[in-house]
Amino acid sequence: MVKYKIGVLFVSLLLLWPSITSHGFSEQIIQKGATGDDVIELQARLQYIGYYEGAIDGVYGWGTYWSVRNFQEAFELESIDGIVGQKTKDMLINATEYDEQYVKQQMYQNEDFNYYGGRQSNDASDSAPAPESETANEEQSTADGPQAVNVPEGFSQNDIQLMARAVYAEGRGEPYNGQVAIAAVIINRLDNPDFPDSISGIIYEPLAFEAVADGQINMQPNEEARQAVLDAVNGWDPSGGAIYYFNPDTATSDWIWSRPQIKRIGKHIFMK
């Protein structure tokens, strides 16, 4: 009888094993260009702690690359190279939770699934996030509960949040129209064939923004930065159509001085 009970218990544990253990990547090294389950897990874990804001799609592109680098730097890993080896995997596993079944279910229901931050793993009471749309009303989670916000057509909530982070990191302390101008530069690049065709691609393009390189892009933006972004996407462009800007007091590049200058707002000079 005792042996029978032990056998039943062992079988029961085997059946429960997938639901009581966390996924832990395969043995492959993950790097730019990779696709599949390991990249899905990588993006979800990075998103869980705020280092990745793009769609969880299983494709290791530039957005994922810079998110990995920022994570590696913030967690003081030996190599800051965007290559996910065992040390980076171990650090991610220790710092995050990953519910593979939930993430893949949301991906199936919404190809632009891009919110896995801080979700309690395996909580059946959680409902799926509403798919992002280009209609006006969406919800933003705040300390006071869900709050209706207006998202202009053509931009997702993720786009607005990512631009707000860039504006806050690059322009906090600048006059308000200077912050709007920074957001306008990002939007102007969206319409320029020389730049990536997505907000995340523009912001995480290598060497494009100092705030990405030094990790300040991961700071939580204030409401002023977010409002500056909304003003910019609704058509206000104090930059005068600029696609570049720089601080002349700290600039070290001779090339940036060669661009045609439009105007100066606060500490920044805006250029074509």
Q: Do 73 and 161 have their domain in common?
A: no
Same domain, 103 and 204: no
Identify the weakest region by mean pLDDT among 17-26, 35-44, 197-206.
17-26
Q: What is the pLDDT of residues 128-148, one digit of tens each?
A: 333 333 333 333 333 333 333
For residues 185-215, one letter each, b for 16 or more C-beta atoms within 10 angstroms of the residue's C-beta and e for the rest, the string is bbbbbbeeeebbebbbbbbbbeebbebbeeb
- List 30's β-bridge partners, or say none: 84
Together in a domain, 264 and 163: yes
Average pLDDT, the chain: 77
Domain that holds residue 236: 157-271
Residues 96 and 179 in one domain: no
Contact 92, 45 (CB under 8 A): yes
* End-of-domain residue from the set 89, 109, 129: 109
* CATH code, domain carrying 75: 1.10.101.10
- 101 and 199 in a single domain? The answer is no
Residue 204 belongs to domain with CATH number:
1.10.10.2520
Does the residue 149 lie in any domain?
no
Q: Is residue 132 in some structural domain?
A: no
Chain centroid to CA 92: how far? 16
Question: Of 34-38, 49-53, 210-214, where does the model show the most confidence?
Answer: 34-38
Is 192 within the bounds of a domain?
A: yes
Q: What is the pLDDT of residues 159-203, one digit of tens each?
A: 888 899 999 999 999 999 999 999 999 999 988 999 988 888 888
- Cβ–Cβ under 8 Å, residues 50 and 218: yes
Helices (H), the chain: 2-20, 37-48, 62-74, 86-95, 100-109, 157-171, 176-190, 199-203, 210-213, 223-233, 254-257
Tokens of 147: 């709050």
Q: Average pLDDT, stretch 11-18?
A: 41
d(CA 168, CA 3): 64
Residue 24 in any domain: the answer is yes
Tell whether 205 is covered by a domain.
Answer: yes
Q: Quick check: 15 pLDDT over 90? A: no
Summarize pLDDT for 218-235 with one digit per residue, the tens.
Answer: 888 999 999 999 889 888
Q: How far is CA 39 from CA 57, 173, 189, 222, in A?
A: 8, 37, 28, 31
Asked if residue 103 belongs to a domain, the reply is: yes
**Residue at a domain's end among 109, 144, 175:** 109
102 and 16 in one domain?
A: yes
For residue 49, is it within any domain? yes
Number of folded domains that form the chain: 2
Whether 104 and 162 map to the same domain: the answer is no
Asked if 83 and 179 sit in the same domain, the reply is no
The pLDDT of residue 66 is above 50: yes
Residues 7 and 80 placed together within one structural domain of the fold = yes
- Whether 263 and 237 have beta carbons less than 8 Å apart is answered as no
Distance CA 117, CA 238 (A): 34
Of 51, 80, 109, the one marking the end of a domain is 109
The verdict on residue 247 lying in a domain is: yes
